[in-house]
Amino acid sequence: EAGVAQSPRYKIIEKRQSVAFWCNPISGHATLYWYQQILGQGPKLLIQFQNNGVVDDSQLPKDRFSAERLKGVDSTLKIQPAKLEDSAVYLCASSQTASGNTIYFGEGSWLTVV
């Protein structure tokens, strides 16, 4: 069974530029998550989708971050404009149900903002 796919793996951009990350969850998983993980910290939930609807986006900085999951399958997370403090790993994850008891993570997209 294929895992959660993410791209790009690494990205370096200058502050105020934009970046987009793509994620394809495990086939059949209804719930998709985007987490931000700063070095040395735990994953912080940015947004959670159930199919193509948003379950929670309370910690998404909506002035600069946006995410969509239009067809209820793959998803894109965009940052525009980027700030230095956005340097982090962006982890996409999926689970079969919204209960979140078993979450499968992708390898992450490493973002450095300079």
Partner 1 sequence: GQSLEQPSEVTAVEGAIVQINCTYQTSGFYGLSWYQQHDGGAPTFLSYNALDGLEETGRFSSFLSRSDSYGYLLLQELQMKDSASYFCAVSPGNTGGFKTIFGAGTRLFVKA
- Using CB under 8 A, list all residues that contact partner 1: 33, 35, 41-45, 48, 50, 55-56, 58, 91, 98-108
How far apart are CB 77 and partner 1 at their closest, in Å? Answer: 16
Decide whether 15 or 44 has the Cβ nearer to partner 1: 44
Instruction: For residue 86, give the DSSP letter.
Output: G
Decide whether 45 or 113 has the Cβ nearer to partner 1: 45
Q: How far apart are CA 90 and CA 57, in angstroms?
A: 15
Decide whether 27 or 99 has the Cβ nearer to partner 1: 99
Radius of gyration from C-alpha coordinates of the chain:
13
On whether the CB atoms of residues 78 and 20 are closer than 8 A, the answer is yes
